Amino acid sequence: MKLPQRYSKAEYEWCVDWKQMGRHCRIGRSTRDWTKEEMMSYLDFDKAENERVERNVEKELQAQRFTTYRGSDYVWKAAGRDHEDQQQVYQHRNRRI
């Protein structure tokens, strides 16, 4: 008895596209195919990251519509804040390991 697949074949094909993970994992001079677990981890992370970004955009839209912003300065500052938040999460996770 097989367990149901968590992702479709199309999603696995998408994650090994050259724009995403690539077909092979390169370790030093050797290459190997990605394991199914690695592809599932990549897809899980991509889904979680997309949901996080969508939640942030939704919060900003509810707080204030983008009508008062001029130029790209606000976007760059928001990207900087997001990067700092991600670094804090990453550093916090690595301390526990």
pLDDT digits (tens, 9 = 90+) for 7-48: 999 999 999 998 889 999 998 999 999 999 999 999 999 999
- In this predicted structure, the answer to whether residue 93 has a pLDDT above a threshold of 90 is no
Note whether 22 and 16 are within 8 A (CB): yes
Alpha carbon distance 49, 71 (integer Å): 26
Q: Tell if the pTM clears 0.85, that is, is over it.
A: no
Q: Which of the pair, 59 or 31, is modelled with greater confidence?
A: 31
pLDDT band of residue 96 (cuts 50, 70, 90) is low
pLDDT band of residue 66 (cuts 50, 70, 90) is low
Note whether 21 and 42 are within 8 A (CB): yes
**How many residues would you count in the chain?**
97
Alpha carbon distance 72, 75 (integer Å): 5
Q: Comparing C-alpha atoms, which of 34, 41, 37 is closest to residue 17?
A: 34
